[in-house]
Amino acid sequence: MRLLIARCSVTYAGRLTATLPPAVRLVMVKADGCVAVHADGGAYKPLNWMNAPNTLTEEHGDDDVLRWRVENPQGETLEIAIEEIRYDWSEPLGEDPGLSKDGVEAHLQELLADHPDAVEDGLELVRREYPTDIGPVDLLCRASDGAAVAVEIKRRGELPAVEQLARYVERLERDPLLRPVRGVLVAQRIKPQARTLAEDRGLAWIEVDYDLLRGIDSGELRLF
Amino acid sequence: MRLLIARCSVTYAGRLTATLPPAVRLVMVKADGCVAVHADGGAYKPLNWMNAPNTLTEEHGDDDVLRWRVENPQGETLEIAIEEIRYDWSEPLGEDPGLSKDGVEAHLQELLADHPDAVEDGLELVRREYPTDIGPVDLLCRASDGAAVAVEIKRRGELPAVEQLARYVERLERDPLLRPVRGVLVAQRIKPQARTLAEDRGLAWIEVDYDLLRGIDSGELRLF
DNA sequence: TATTACATGTCGACC
DNA sequence: GGTCGACGTGTAATA
């Protein structure tokens, strides 16, 4: 990794054009060749950057300005004109053992598979990941009135989730053994627009509380 | 900005749980208090981070380990256990004059609002951001034959854009004052799949040249 | 504050 | 190599 604190101006030309006037910034070059220009604020996103793979060429201008030109295979370019270097540090850090994540996402589906009645009273699970030719439905259930219910589970309920569920229900409706099929979108939070579209498509929606569900689940486990 | 090259292990607990085993990494602390932990590769995204606003507390463990605890108002925490500092640099960079961008969707919409006939001959703008209950249509226009035309503008035309436009047209069709309503997807580049789906839904599509449009726009301005 | 839609989104999984 | 969906998405604009 190389860390350069320098007064520089930057231009990116590619999917859009973005320019930075001269100022003191951090230029970070990682071992994989990616380059990022950071200001002293504004979250972790750099002002300008170029991801690997790319090629970096350096040239000295006659005006004491060092010019870096970073280009990627798509022809996008990042040009950094370095007027003054304040600090320059470089050393390999070595491989990183990597990040391990423990997500909330998969757990939510497990919990609801165990407690389908949290979605609708009397609902019983038929199968998780019920296959259709456009992909698996998260949960296929049977309601107390005998109707099939397709449940789509998301952490956040947005428009694409409604479309996805609508497609599933449409497919499942073609199966005479399942028909009629209702659809329910379940999420921790469902956006107003998604609610509107769901209702419009004849789909139900419900927000569930993850912590509450987990509490119910662990409470029941304690009974055994 | 503070740059720390250190052997450290990191834990984030918040929307999910993520842990990093000990390794040498860059810890970047910006003037606004945001913290990012970078490996020597993997694009510009840090392995772990905590955005501003947050509070950083430092404590010395009895085992020669320096412990940073970063917490934000939502109660999410980032904990960094620093075992060994290899390099520690700190200095304010000052305010950044900021980034100027050209070529984002907003610009494209402005240009097309000024020149709807670039989409279709004789098209006239009725209103930008025409509201519907599932979101605003980028441009609502009137064609020379009197039909309403909903224009959806994207930098890149992909499947979701077609579906979005289809939803808008479906909504607008319900308004007897607008009916019949045609839909046009406008983008700098439209993927073949999106073209096919658009045609399938009875929607038109057109690719526009941003630089050309800008040229037309500045050319017309010169007339006044 | 909350809601929305864009982003040089990035990133991984799967085909 | 593409397509798709998730993301601790972040971010700015808007109501």
User: For position B221, what pLDDT does the model report?
Assistant: 55
Last residue of a domain, one of B90, B124, B140: B90
| Contact assignment for A41 to B52 by CB distance below 8 Å | yes
| Contact assignment for B101 to A17 by CB distance below 8 Å | yes
- Taking the C1' atom of every nucleotide in all shown strands and the CA of A192, the nearest one is C3
- Structural domain for A74, as ranges: 2-90
- Taking the C1' atom of every nucleotide in all shown strands and the CA of B155, the nearest one is C6
Question: Which residues does chain B have within 8 Å of residue A40's beta carbon, measured at their own beta carbons?
Answer: 1, 30-32, 92-94, 96
Residues B113 and B217 in one domain: yes
Residue pair A172/A141 in contact (Cβ under 8 Å)? The answer is: no
The answer to whether residue A95 is domain-embedded is no
Residues B187 and B144 in one domain: yes
The CATH number for A118's domain is: 3.40.1350.10
The CATH number for A13's domain is: 2.70.180.20
- Percent of chain A residues topping a pLDDT of 90: 79
The answer to whether residue B96 is domain-embedded is no
Residues B67 and B109 in one domain: no
Q: Please give the residue of chain A at the shortest CA–CA distance from B105.
A: A16
Average pLDDT over residues B175-202: 94
Separation between the CA of B136 and the C1’ of D13 (whole angstroms): 14
Residue pair A72/A57 in contact (Cβ under 8 Å)? The answer is: no
Separation between the CA of B44 and the C1’ of D13 (whole angstroms): 25
Structure tokens at A169: 């229900």
Residues A195 and A154 in one domain: yes
Residues A52 and A145 in one domain: no
User: For position B220, what pLDDT does the model report?
Assistant: 66
Q: Which of residues 83-112 of B touch strand D (CB under 7 A)?
A: none
The answer to whether residue B209 is domain-embedded is yes
Identify the band that residue A147 occupies on the pLDDT scale cut at 50, 70 and 90: very high
Identify the band that residue B47 occupies on the pLDDT scale cut at 50, 70 and 90: very high
Residues B138 and B44 in one domain: no
Identify the band that residue A51 occupies on the pLDDT scale cut at 50, 70 and 90: very high
Residues A195 and A136 in one domain: yes
Strand D closer than 7 A to residue B14 Cβ = yes
Residues A18 and A80 in one domain: yes
The answer to whether residue B98 is domain-embedded is no
Average pLDDT over residues B3-10: 97
Last residue of a domain, one of B67, B90, B113: B90
Residues B43 and B124 in one domain: no
The answer to whether residue B99 is domain-embedded is no
Residues B51 and B120 in one domain: no
CA dihedral of residues A161, A164, A170, A174 (deg, nearest 10): -130
* pLDDT at position A81 over 60: yes
**What does the mean pLDDT of chain B come to?**
93
Average pLDDT over residues B169-195: 94
- Which residue in this structure is represented by tokens 């859009």? A16
User: For position B61, what pLDDT does the model report?
Assistant: 80
Q: Which of B161, B127, B154 is nearest to B142 (CA)?
A: B127
Residues A109 and A86 in one domain: no
User: For position B35, what pLDDT does the model report?
Assistant: 97
Q: Please give the residue of chain B at the shortest CA–CA distance from A192.
A: B134
Distance CA A146, CA A141 (A): 10
The answer to whether residue A97 is domain-embedded is no
* pLDDT at position A106 over 80: no
